[in-house]
Amino acid sequence: MAGYSSYSLRAVKRKFGLIEDKSHFTIGIPPIIPTDLLVQTLERNLDTMGLNNEKSRSEFVVAPIMMEVAYLHRARVSVYSGENLEADKSEDLNGECDFIISGMPRSSTIEIPIICLVECENDNLMSGTGQCVAQMLGAQIVNERDGNRLPYIYGCVTTGNDWKFLKLEQKTIYTDITTYYLKDVGQILGIFQRLIEDLTHSTI
């Protein structure tokens, strides 16, 4: 199927002339304490639900974490699930996104996309990285088209248990060296907080 999901990391790098670099851009970011609701929801879901496919992990692990991000930062951002991000259909930079964080609070449409999150198949972070980079490129195009000048776009790929963060700056894709895990959900929330603060402060 054409669109974001058609891209592997190798394909998106080759087609758009991207350079990949390893980075420590999340190092030193402090965790934040998750709400009791999130802790209890994750504990219950991990204890009672069969999380052996992408759909179940999305519904019972990823979605509660993204709901927490949306709640904690509701004065700054909106979080969308399953919405289309139409950037450039001729380049297959279009299609449905698992989650998009927009730098515009309480908006009914995606405005100022700042973070793209892709859920990976088969418990393999690499399987979703190309798609995530393609969506980050799409977000970059949408922002430029709308006159929103951002220095970079962030991305995240996750299996539900493993979380890896990315940053797209012009033609360089920075892959964070550290992989974070669900048991450190406070650290994951802290990183999302820092990325949101970074780009909502940069929005013009």
* Phi-psi label, residue 160: left if phi above 0, alpha if psi -120 to 50, beta otherwise: left
Q: Summarize pLDDT for 80-138 with one digit per residue, the tens.
A: 999 999 999 999 999 999 999 999 998 888 999 999 999 987 778 888 999 999 999 99
Q: What is the mean pLDDT of residues 18-30?
A: 95
Q: How many Cα neighbours within 13 Å face the side chain of 114?
A: 27
pTM: 0.93
Largest CA distance in the chain: 47
AA letter at 131: Q
